Structure 1
Amino acid sequence: MAHESLYEHAGGTDALHRLEDHFYAGVLADPLLRPLFGAGKPHHVEHLTWFTAESFGGPDRFTRELGFAHLIDVHRHLKITEEQRRRFVELYLAALDAVGMPTDRPFRDAVRSHVEFGTQVAMQNSHAATDDDLHPIREVPRWTWDGDQTEG
């Protein structure tokens, strides 16, 4: 398993698209999170899929087609609360089960740490009044089986 990427273990782009599609539908239906997402955006599932795939060791399409600055921009001024951040994590982890993602502990632990980290970054960036207040990460993090992230 250590030689297999999280992307491969998850089942690749198609499996991650199913995950993000299910998750996004849940977010749009959730009264606590709906204010952050509004009515939704047509390409959001696709962009989430690209981001997760790249983070998990798959193709770098998110970086090539959108770039990390896009991620910063979409979170700025949302004023994400800790309650909303925790709910996001909860729905994401539930979506793993709903779409039949691998259930082994190393995978689930890596995904949890990835989502926890990402939601912390998003929450910080959502409250940033200036660029100096932003989280310092400026590239899609590459997640490992140990739950560590490395930039680029």
Structure 2
Amino acid sequence: MTTGGNTTESLFDHVGGRAGLHRLVATWYPRVLADPLLHPLFGAGSPSHVEHLTDFLAEVFGGPTVYTDELGGFPALLEAHRGKRITEEQRQRFVDLFLAAADDAGLPSDTRFRTALLDYLRFGTEVAVQNSHATGDADLHPCQEVPRWNW
């Protein structure tokens, strides 16, 4: 996007596009499957989870809208979390493992990017926790579409 002669890079571009996000998710996913606290939420895992989460994050960070266009969008994400009853301890472990995976996958370490990533992770995991405890549609988080995150 260009504003007043200055080019502002999207978060998607800053992480290296889909390839950078895929590397992040592929680094993170085996960790949650092996983690005793998170394993109950993920079980044995899903062969498509890395690709689907990569598509979701790509959309969140300003990339292509594959998650919405081809994978069911936010309603699919709501359904995936429904009834999981995610605890605060699980939420925090998810964030910690994701940030460690960002380091290990070689994502940018600049403060501006890491602040945006952490802000999104806090928001996204709070939405997941709330929706995982919802007993009806009225209990769902008001965010009902894939959020678009920026600097």
TM-score range, shorter chain: over 0.9
Aligned to 2:36: 31
> Which residue of 120, 125, 134 corresponds with 1:119?
125
Instruction: Answer yes or no: is 1:49 the counterpart of 2:54.
Output: yes
Residue 148 of structure 2: SS of its match in structure 1? Answer: strand
Mapped partners of 1:80, 1:2: distance in 2: 39
For 1:140 and 1:130, locate their aligned partners in 2 and report how far apart those are by CA, in whole Å: 20
Alpha-carbon separation, structure 1, partners of 2:106 and 2:7: 21
Map 1:1-152 → 2, pairs under 5 A: 3-66=8-71, 67-145=73-151
State the 1:2 CA deviation. Answer: 6.4
Scaled by the length of structure 2, the TM-score of the pair is: 0.94
Provide TM-score, normalisation by structure 1: 0.93
Tell me how many residue pairs correspond in the alignment.
145
SS at match of 1:140: coil
Identity %: 60
Cα separation, 2, equivalents of 1:20 and 1:130: 30
- CA distance in 1 between partners of 2:20 and 2:92 (Å): 24
Whichever of the two has the greater Rg, that structure is 2
Structure 1 residue 27, shift from structure 2 partner: 0.5
Query: Which consecutive unaligned segments of at least 5 residues does structure 2 have?
Result: 1-5
In structure 2, C-alpha distance between the alignment counterparts of 1:69 and 1:14, rounded to whole Å? 25
How many angstroms apart in 1 are the aligned matches of 2:149 and 2:142?
Answer: 17
Please list every run of 5 or more consecutive structure 1 residues that lacks an aligned counterpart in the other structure. 146-152
- The offset of 1:144, in angstroms, is 1.0
Point out 4+ residue stretches in structure 1 off by more than 3 angstroms: none
Compared CA separation, residues 100 and 134, structure 1 to 2 (3 A): same
Q: Return closer, same or farther for 1:2/1:92 CA change in 2, 3 Å cut-off.
A: farther
